[in-house]
Structures are given as C-alpha cells and as structure tokens.
Amino acid sequence: MTTELSSLYQETILDHNKRPRNFHKLAAASHHADGYNPLCGDKVTVYLEIEGDVLKDISFEGSGCAISKASASMMTEALKGRSLRQADELFHVFHELVTGKEGGEPAGPAALGKLVVFSGVREFPVRVKCATLAWHTLRAALENRLQPASTE
Ligand code: ZN
C-alpha cells in the first residue's frame, strides 16, 4: 500500500468509526439480518428497504471494531439507491479487493469509490472478516435468511 493510501485508509476509517453514516434502525425495512464475527466480537444488523429491484434505503446498527463499523457505514453509503444486481456485483468486487485473491489491481476500483481504502486490510488477514462482516450480512438480508450470518 502506498503511504498516501495508507493515511487515507486511517483517516477514512477513523472518520466513519466516529460518525457512522446511516447508523440507525430502519422503520420501513422490508429485509434485515444479523451478522457476527466471533474472531473479533463484531456485531451488526443490516436493514434494507427494497422497492422493486432497488435498494431504496439501507442502514445498520451494531457494535464492534473501527474496521467493521467503518466498513458497514461505507457500504450503506455505496449501496443506497443501487439496484440489487449492482449491490451483488459490488459485493464480489469488494470481496476480491480485501482478500486480494486476484493479485494485482482490484477489479472495478471506479465502482468501489472510497471503499478502495479497504485494500489495506488484505495485509492483515484477521481484519478481512471485520471488513466483510457487513457485506455478508447484507447478502443474508437479501436472502432473508433466518440464521444469523457469520464470517465463519
Ligand atoms: Zn473487528
């Protein structure tokens, strides 16, 4: 990671941890799911208001480390107003970004916007689960699963 991205990573994560966006229960939620990362103790609930095939609104609640909270916060910002297909695509692009499975450059960094700062977590494998918890929970909410999502 370049020094520039590294300090952006720090700043962005600290900012979203301190002032999480869309951090509330969604009264009109049509879907929701709970997620838990036992490795770190992160807990998150993701709420979705789906209209047709669009994520009209999205929010979250929970407690956990700065990375899990910032990731959830930035996920809600990135996905609000997107189609369900775009949300699914972004899930895969983000997952590739943080796991670094493809090596080299992440696919579609433009689509990721600020989320690209999370490429830093691939250097800390334990933190990957913190960064992906909200996204796994999102998928569980989309599938309306009754079982809580887990990173395990
Ligand atoms: Zn964590």
The CATH classification of domain 3-150, taken from the options 3.20.20.70, 3.40.50.970, 3.40.190.80, 3.90.1010.10: 3.90.1010.10
Q: Which run of H or of E encompasses 104?
A: none
For the chain, the domains span: 3-150
Q: Rounded CA gap, 82 and 111, in Å?
A: 12
Tell me how far the alpha carbon of residue 91 lies from the centroid of ligand 1, in angstroms.
18
Tell me how far the alpha carbon of residue 129 lies from the centroid of ligand 1, in angstroms.
7
Which residues lie closer than 8 Å to 11 by C-beta, 6 or more apart?
Answer: none
- Of residues 92, 70, 73, 72, the one with CA closest to residue 133: 72
pTM for the whole structure: 0.88
Tell me how far the alpha carbon of residue 52 lies from the centroid of ligand 1, in angstroms.
33
Q: Rounded CA gap, 131 and 124, in Å?
A: 11
Q: How far is CA 144 from the centre of its chain?
A: 17
Q: For every one of its 152 residues, what pLDDT tens digit does the chain have, with 9 covering 90 and above?
A: 567 767 778 899 999 999 999 999 999 999 999 999 999 999 999 999 999 999 999 999 999 999 999 999 999 999 999 999 999 999 999 999 898 865 555 555 567 888 888 988 888 888 999 999 999 999 999 987 656 677 76
